[in-house]
Amino acid sequence: MNVETKDRAHVEAGYTAKDITVLEGLEPVRKRPGMYIGSTGPSGLHHLVWEVVDNSVDEAMAGYCTRIDVTLLADGGCEVVDNGRGFPVDEHPQYKGKSAAEVVLTVLHAGGKFGGGGYKVSGGLHGVGVSVVNALSTRLKLEVDRDGKRHRLEFRDGGKAVGKLEVVGEAPRGRTGSAVTFWPDAAVFDEVDFRAQTISERLQVYAFLNKGLEIRFKDERQGHDPTPQVFRYAGGIVDYVKHLNASKEPLFKRVASYSVAEEGQEVDIALQWNTGYYESIHSFANGIATIEGGMHEDGFRQALTNVVNKFARQRNLIKEGAENLSGEDVREGLTAIVSVRLTEPQFEGQTKAKLGNTAMRSLVARATNEKLAEWLEENPKEGGQVVQKALLAQRARVAAKHAKELTRRKSALDGAGLPGKLYDCSSRNPDECELFIVEGNSAAGSAVKARDPRTQAVLPIRGKILNVEKARVDKMLKNAEIQALIMAIGAGLSDDFDIAKIRYDKVIILADADVDGSHIRTLLLTFFLRQMKPFVEAGHIYVAQPPLYSAEVGTTKVYLKDDVARAQFIAEHPNYNKDFSRLKGLGEMNWEELKETTIDRDKRSLLQVTMEQASIADEICSVLMGDDVELRRHFIQTNAKDIRFLDI
Question: What residues act catalytically?
Answer: 439, 512, 514, 516
Measured from the Cβ of residue 105, the count of other Cβ atoms closer than 10 Å reads 24
Q: Where are the alpha helices (DSSP H) in 372-511?
A: 373-378, 380-410, 441-450, 473-476, 480-489
- Beta-bridge partner residues of 139: 156, 183
| Residue 434, C-beta contacts closer than 8 angstroms, at least 6 positions apart | 455, 456, 457, 504, 505, 506, 507, 508
Q: Sort residue 497 into left (φ over 0), alpha (ψ -120 to 50) or beta.
A: beta
Euclidean distance between CA atoms 4 and 260, whole angstroms: 66
- Give the C-alpha distances (Å, rounded to integers) separating 180 from 33, 64, 168, 425: 20, 17, 16, 53
| CA proximity to 298, closest of 364, 214, 220 | 364
- Cβ–Cβ under 8 Å, residues 156 and 137: no
Euclidean distance between CA atoms 436 and 444, whole angstroms: 9
Q: How many residues in the chain?
A: 648
Euclidean distance between CA atoms 341 and 579, whole angstroms: 61
Euclidean distance between CA atoms 261 and 363, whole angstroms: 9
Euclidean distance between CA atoms 162 and 104, whole angstroms: 15
Eight-class DSSP state of 557:
E
Euclidean distance between CA atoms 488 and 507, whole angstroms: 10
Eight-class DSSP state of 433:
-
Euclidean distance between CA atoms 119 and 58, whole angstroms: 8
For 192, phi and psi rounded to 5 degrees? -120, 25
Euclidean distance between CA atoms 433 and 427, whole angstroms: 7
Q: E-assigned strands of 430-555?
A: 434-439, 456-461, 506-510, 541-544, 549-553
For 520, phi and psi rounded to 5 degrees? -60, -45
